[in-house]
Protein backbone atom coordinates (compact mmCIF):
# COMPACT_ATOMS: atom_id res chain seq x y z
CA UNK A 1 0.00 0.00 0.00
CA UNK A 2 3.02 2.27 0.28
CA UNK A 3 5.87 3.08 -2.05
CA UNK A 4 9.11 3.89 -0.32
CA UNK A 5 12.73 4.18 -1.24
CA UNK A 6 16.08 5.44 -0.10
CA UNK A 7 17.90 7.88 -2.31
CA UNK A 8 20.70 10.40 -2.19
CA UNK A 9 19.03 12.31 -5.02
CA UNK A 10 16.79 15.37 -4.59
CA UNK A 11 19.41 17.12 -2.47
CA UNK A 12 19.53 20.87 -2.69
CA UNK A 13 22.76 22.81 -2.54
CA UNK A 14 23.46 23.98 1.00
CA UNK A 15 21.05 21.55 2.65
CA UNK A 16 22.13 19.68 5.75
CA UNK A 17 22.03 16.42 3.85
CA UNK A 18 24.36 17.67 1.11
CA UNK A 19 26.88 18.79 3.72
CA UNK A 20 26.69 15.66 5.87
CA UNK A 21 27.16 12.22 4.29
CA UNK A 22 25.62 10.58 7.37
CA UNK A 23 22.14 11.62 6.21
CA UNK A 24 20.03 10.23 3.34
CA UNK A 25 16.46 10.84 2.19
CA UNK A 26 13.59 8.38 2.27
CA UNK A 27 10.35 9.09 0.41
CA UNK A 28 7.00 7.51 1.24
CA UNK A 29 3.78 7.95 -0.74
CA UNK A 30 0.51 7.37 1.09
CA UNK A 31 -1.88 5.25 -0.99
CA UNK A 32 -3.73 3.73 1.96
CA UNK A 33 -7.00 5.56 2.88
CA UNK A 34 -6.82 4.28 6.46
CA UNK A 35 -3.91 6.66 7.11
CA UNK A 36 -5.80 9.77 6.02
CA UNK A 37 -6.12 12.20 8.93
CA UNK A 38 -3.37 10.59 11.02
CA UNK A 39 -0.48 12.69 12.40
CA UNK A 40 2.62 12.71 10.27
CA UNK A 41 4.97 11.77 13.15
CA UNK A 42 2.90 8.62 13.75
CA UNK A 43 2.84 7.91 10.01
CA UNK A 44 6.63 8.15 9.73
CA UNK A 45 7.27 6.17 12.92
CA UNK A 46 5.03 3.34 11.71
CA UNK A 47 6.75 3.17 8.34
CA UNK A 48 10.29 3.61 9.78
CA UNK A 49 9.98 2.10 13.30
CA UNK A 50 13.69 2.20 14.07
CA UNK A 51 13.20 5.91 14.79
CA UNK A 52 10.89 7.19 17.53
CA UNK A 53 8.00 9.66 17.18
CA UNK A 54 10.06 12.17 19.16
CA UNK A 55 12.84 11.80 16.61
CA UNK A 56 10.46 12.62 13.77
CA UNK A 57 9.07 15.60 15.69
CA UNK A 58 12.61 16.95 16.05
CA UNK A 59 13.26 16.23 12.39
CA UNK A 60 10.21 18.30 11.43
CA UNK A 61 11.30 21.15 13.72
CA UNK A 62 14.72 21.11 12.05
CA UNK A 63 13.15 21.44 8.60
CA UNK A 64 14.07 17.95 7.37
CA UNK A 65 10.57 16.72 6.43
CA UNK A 66 9.00 17.72 3.10
CA UNK A 67 5.42 17.03 2.07
CA UNK A 68 4.57 17.43 -1.62
CA UNK A 69 7.72 19.52 -2.19
CA UNK A 70 6.93 21.89 0.71
CA UNK A 71 8.99 21.89 3.89
CA UNK A 72 6.70 20.99 6.77
CA UNK A 73 6.00 23.71 9.34
CA UNK A 74 3.94 21.80 11.91
CA UNK A 75 4.41 18.60 13.91
CA UNK A 76 0.67 17.91 13.87
CA UNK A 77 0.22 17.87 10.09
CA UNK A 78 -2.46 15.31 9.12
CA UNK A 79 -1.76 12.91 6.28
CA UNK A 80 -3.81 13.16 3.07
CA UNK A 81 -4.26 10.52 0.41
CA UNK A 82 -1.40 10.54 -2.14
CA UNK A 83 0.80 12.74 0.06
CA UNK A 84 4.46 12.35 -0.90
CA UNK A 85 6.51 12.57 2.29
CA UNK A 86 10.29 12.91 2.16
CA UNK A 87 12.35 12.77 5.35
CA UNK A 88 16.09 13.30 5.62
CA UNK A 89 17.31 10.68 8.08
CA UNK A 90 20.65 9.94 9.66
CA UNK A 91 22.37 6.77 8.46
CA UNK A 92 24.14 6.30 11.77
CA UNK A 93 22.42 5.43 15.02
CA UNK A 94 22.87 7.79 17.94
CA UNK A 95 26.07 7.28 19.88
CA UNK A 96 24.74 5.88 23.14
CA UNK A 97 27.97 4.15 24.13
CA UNK A 98 28.86 4.69 27.80
CA UNK A 99 31.39 7.52 28.14
CA UNK A 100 32.79 9.60 30.97
CA UNK A 101 30.92 12.88 31.39
CA UNK A 102 31.49 15.36 34.20
CA UNK A 103 28.31 16.04 36.19
CA UNK A 104 27.29 16.04 39.85
CA UNK A 105 24.80 13.64 41.42
CA UNK A 106 22.82 15.46 44.11
CA UNK A 107 20.99 12.36 45.30
CA UNK A 108 20.87 8.69 44.40
CA UNK A 109 17.66 6.81 45.21
CA UNK A 110 16.75 3.25 44.26
CA UNK A 111 14.27 4.46 41.61
CA UNK A 112 15.66 7.81 40.54
CA UNK A 113 18.65 10.12 40.41
CA UNK A 114 18.84 13.87 40.91
CA UNK A 115 21.47 15.35 38.60
CA UNK A 116 23.07 18.79 38.60
CA UNK A 117 23.66 19.26 34.87
CA UNK A 118 26.41 21.69 33.87
CA UNK A 119 25.76 24.29 31.17
CA UNK A 120 27.03 23.20 27.76
CA UNK A 121 26.00 19.55 28.14
CA UNK A 122 23.20 18.22 25.93
CA UNK A 123 20.73 16.04 27.87
CA UNK A 124 20.16 13.53 25.05
CA UNK A 125 20.84 13.13 21.35
CA UNK A 126 18.66 14.94 18.85
CA UNK A 127 17.90 14.42 15.19
CA UNK A 128 20.69 16.80 14.24
CA UNK A 129 23.17 15.79 16.97
CA UNK A 130 23.34 11.97 16.76
CA UNK A 131 27.02 11.66 17.68
CA UNK A 132 27.52 14.38 20.31
CA UNK A 133 28.47 13.15 23.79
CA UNK A 134 25.48 13.81 26.05
CA UNK A 135 24.32 13.30 29.60
CA UNK A 136 22.88 9.94 28.45
CA UNK A 137 26.40 8.69 27.63
CA UNK A 138 27.55 9.76 31.08
CA UNK A 139 24.62 8.14 32.86
CA UNK A 140 25.23 4.81 31.10
CA UNK A 141 28.90 5.02 32.08
CA UNK A 142 28.31 5.82 35.74
CA UNK A 143 25.17 3.70 36.19
CA UNK A 144 25.48 0.61 33.91
CA UNK A 145 22.17 -0.86 35.10
CA UNK A 146 20.37 1.92 33.24
CA UNK A 147 21.22 0.17 29.99
CA UNK A 148 18.37 -2.23 30.83
CA UNK A 149 15.74 0.53 30.55
CA UNK A 150 13.79 0.15 27.32
CA UNK A 151 13.41 3.74 26.15
CA UNK A 152 15.10 3.86 22.75
CA UNK A 153 17.99 6.33 22.78
CA UNK A 154 17.02 8.19 25.97
CA UNK A 155 17.22 5.71 28.85
CA UNK A 156 16.06 7.29 32.10
CA UNK A 157 15.31 10.71 30.63
CA UNK A 158 11.96 12.00 31.92
CA UNK A 159 12.33 15.69 31.09
CA UNK A 160 15.08 17.95 29.81
CA UNK A 161 16.58 21.39 30.14
CA UNK A 162 18.36 23.36 27.42
CA UNK A 163 21.97 22.55 26.62
CA UNK A 164 23.14 25.95 27.90
CA UNK A 165 20.93 25.90 31.00
CA UNK A 166 22.43 24.45 34.17
CA UNK A 167 20.78 22.77 37.11
CA UNK A 168 18.52 20.01 38.38
CA UNK A 169 17.37 17.12 36.24
CA UNK A 170 15.42 14.08 37.44
CA UNK A 171 16.41 10.73 35.92
CA UNK A 172 14.51 7.44 36.28
CA UNK A 173 16.51 4.32 37.06
CA UNK A 174 13.96 1.77 35.88
CA UNK A 175 10.92 1.55 33.63
CA UNK A 176 8.44 1.61 36.52
CA UNK A 177 9.90 4.86 37.85
CA UNK A 178 10.03 6.30 34.34
CA UNK A 179 6.31 5.72 33.91
CA UNK A 180 5.51 7.08 37.39
CA UNK A 181 7.49 10.30 36.90
CA UNK A 182 6.08 10.79 33.42
CA UNK A 183 2.62 10.70 35.00
CA UNK A 184 3.66 13.19 37.70
CA UNK A 185 4.92 15.63 35.07
CA UNK A 186 1.74 15.18 33.05
CA UNK A 187 -0.35 15.88 36.15
CA UNK A 188 1.85 18.92 36.93
CA UNK A 189 2.50 17.81 40.49
CA UNK A 190 6.26 18.29 40.20
CA UNK A 191 7.17 21.88 41.13
CA UNK A 192 10.13 23.29 39.20
CA UNK A 193 11.75 26.60 40.07
CA UNK A 194 14.48 28.40 38.12
CA UNK A 195 16.84 31.24 38.90
CA UNK A 196 17.05 33.72 36.04
CA UNK A 197 19.16 36.86 35.73
CA UNK A 198 17.29 39.30 33.52
CA UNK A 199 17.79 42.76 32.09
CA UNK A 200 16.15 45.67 33.89
CA UNK A 201 13.99 45.77 37.02
CA UNK A 202 10.61 44.03 36.78
CA UNK A 203 8.02 44.37 39.59
CA UNK A 204 8.58 42.47 42.84
CA UNK A 205 6.42 39.56 41.67
CA UNK A 206 4.14 38.64 38.84
CA UNK A 207 2.30 36.06 36.77
CA UNK A 208 3.00 35.39 33.09
CA UNK A 209 0.16 33.57 31.37
CA UNK A 210 1.12 33.54 27.69
CA UNK A 211 0.85 30.58 25.33
CA UNK A 212 4.08 29.40 23.70
CA UNK A 213 4.47 27.86 20.25
CA UNK A 214 6.86 27.53 17.34
CA UNK A 215 7.91 30.92 15.96
CA UNK A 216 5.94 31.71 12.77
CA UNK A 217 9.10 32.58 10.78
CA UNK A 218 12.14 31.15 12.57
CA UNK A 219 11.43 27.46 13.22
CA UNK A 220 14.37 27.23 15.66
CA UNK A 221 12.71 29.69 18.04
CA UNK A 222 9.62 29.68 20.22
CA UNK A 223 7.24 32.61 20.60
CA UNK A 224 4.17 33.86 22.46
CA UNK A 225 2.62 34.45 19.02
CA UNK A 226 3.77 31.09 17.72
CA UNK A 227 2.25 28.39 15.54
CA UNK A 228 0.02 25.88 17.35
CA UNK A 229 0.71 27.61 20.68
CA UNK A 230 0.03 25.77 23.92
CA UNK A 231 -0.89 27.32 27.26
CA UNK A 232 2.10 28.28 29.40
CA UNK A 233 2.08 29.68 32.93
CA UNK A 234 4.97 31.06 34.99
CA UNK A 235 5.19 32.93 38.30
CA UNK A 236 8.18 35.09 39.18
CA UNK A 237 9.52 36.78 42.29
CA UNK A 238 12.49 39.15 42.48
CA UNK A 239 15.26 37.90 44.75
CA UNK A 240 17.57 40.84 44.17
CA UNK A 241 17.62 44.06 42.17
CA UNK A 242 20.80 45.48 40.63
CA UNK A 243 21.18 48.83 38.83
CA UNK A 244 20.78 47.26 35.39
CA UNK A 245 19.44 43.75 36.06
CA UNK A 246 17.53 41.52 38.46
CA UNK A 247 17.78 38.01 39.89
CA UNK A 248 14.42 36.28 39.55
CA UNK A 249 12.98 33.14 41.06
CA UNK A 250 10.70 31.69 38.36
CA UNK A 251 8.29 28.85 39.07
CA UNK A 252 6.86 27.18 35.98
CA UNK A 253 3.48 25.43 36.09
CA UNK A 254 3.76 24.13 32.53
CA UNK A 255 6.94 22.92 30.87
CA UNK A 256 6.98 24.36 27.36
CA UNK A 257 10.16 24.52 25.29
CA UNK A 258 12.20 27.64 26.24
CA UNK A 259 9.32 28.75 28.48
CA UNK A 260 11.28 30.85 31.00
CA UNK A 261 13.38 32.49 28.29
CA UNK A 262 10.37 33.32 26.11
CA UNK A 263 8.19 34.52 29.02
CA UNK A 264 10.87 36.82 30.43
CA UNK A 265 11.49 38.29 27.00
CA UNK A 266 7.75 38.78 26.49
CA UNK A 267 7.48 41.07 29.55
CA UNK A 268 10.47 43.11 28.42
CA UNK A 269 13.11 41.55 30.68
CA UNK A 270 15.06 39.06 28.59
CA UNK A 271 17.75 36.88 30.14
CA UNK A 272 21.30 38.16 30.18
CA UNK A 273 23.55 36.17 27.84
CA UNK A 274 20.58 34.83 25.88
CA UNK A 275 21.40 35.76 22.29
CA UNK A 276 18.15 34.25 20.98
CA UNK A 277 15.53 35.87 23.21
CA UNK A 278 17.43 38.13 25.59
CA UNK A 279 20.49 40.36 25.51
CA UNK A 280 24.22 39.82 25.14
CA UNK A 281 26.30 40.61 28.20
CA UNK A 282 30.09 40.83 28.57
CA UNK A 283 30.09 38.86 31.84
CA UNK A 284 28.28 35.72 30.63
CA UNK A 285 28.54 33.56 27.50
CA UNK A 286 25.29 31.61 27.86
CA UNK A 287 21.75 32.32 29.00
CA UNK A 288 21.74 33.18 32.71
CA UNK A 289 19.30 30.43 33.63
CA UNK A 290 19.61 27.73 36.29
CA UNK A 291 17.15 24.96 37.20
CA UNK A 292 17.40 25.66 40.90
CA UNK A 293 14.82 23.67 42.84
CA UNK A 294 12.47 20.72 42.35
CA UNK A 295 9.81 19.48 44.79
CA UNK A 296 7.56 16.43 44.43
CA UNK A 297 5.95 13.49 46.19
CA UNK A 298 6.91 10.00 45.08
CA UNK A 299 5.37 6.83 46.54
CA UNK A 300 3.91 8.83 49.41
CA UNK A 301 7.19 10.52 50.39
CA UNK A 302 7.97 14.20 49.89
CA UNK A 303 11.25 15.19 48.22
CA UNK A 304 12.82 18.60 47.67
CA UNK A 305 16.20 19.39 46.12
CA UNK A 306 18.22 22.49 45.28
CA UNK A 307 21.24 22.86 43.02
CA UNK A 308 23.74 25.57 44.00
CA UNK A 309 24.27 28.44 41.57
CA UNK A 310 27.23 27.61 39.28
CA UNK A 311 30.41 29.67 39.28
CA UNK A 312 29.70 31.59 36.08
CA UNK A 313 26.37 32.87 37.40
CA UNK A 314 27.92 33.72 40.77
CA UNK A 315 30.56 35.80 38.97
CA UNK A 316 27.84 37.49 36.91
CA UNK A 317 25.98 38.50 40.08
CA UNK A 318 29.19 39.82 41.62
CA UNK A 319 29.87 41.86 38.49
CA UNK A 320 26.35 43.28 38.46
CA UNK A 321 26.65 44.26 42.13
CA UNK A 322 29.90 46.10 41.41
CA UNK A 323 28.37 48.34 38.71
**DSSP states of 43-68 as a string?**
HHHHHSTTS-HHHHHHHHHTT-EEET
Annotation marks residue 162 as catalytic: yes
What is the rounded distance in angstroms from the CA atom of residue 249 to the CA atom of residue 246?
10
Burial of 163 (0-12, 13-18, 19+ CB in 10 A): middle
Contacts 24+ apart (CB under 8 A), 55-63: 55/127, 55/153, 56/87, 58/126, 58/127, 58/128, 59/87, 59/88, 59/89, 59/127, 61/214, 61/219, 61/220, 62/16, 62/127, 62/128, 62/219, 63/219
Please count the other Cβ atoms lying within 10 Å of the Cβ belonging to residue 14.
Answer: 7
Which of 41, 61, 83, 162 does the annotation list as catalytic? 162
**DSSP states of 220-285 as a string?**
TSEETT-EEEE--EEEEEEEEE-SSEEEEEEEESS--TTHHHHHHHHTT-PBBT-TTTSB-BTTBS
What is the rounded distance in angstroms from the CA atom of residue 285 to the CA atom of residue 269?
18
Where in the sequence numbering do the catalytic residues fall? 162
Amino acid sequence: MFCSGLSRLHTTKGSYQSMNPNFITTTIVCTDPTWVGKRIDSFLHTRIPEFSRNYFQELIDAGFVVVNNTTLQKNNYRIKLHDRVSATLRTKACNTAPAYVDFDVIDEQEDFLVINKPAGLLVHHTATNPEEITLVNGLLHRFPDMQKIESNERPGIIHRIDKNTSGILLVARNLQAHNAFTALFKERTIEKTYLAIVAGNPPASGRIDLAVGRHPIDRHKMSTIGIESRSALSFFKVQQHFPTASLLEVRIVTGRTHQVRVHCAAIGHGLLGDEVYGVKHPLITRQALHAWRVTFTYQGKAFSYQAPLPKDLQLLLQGLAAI
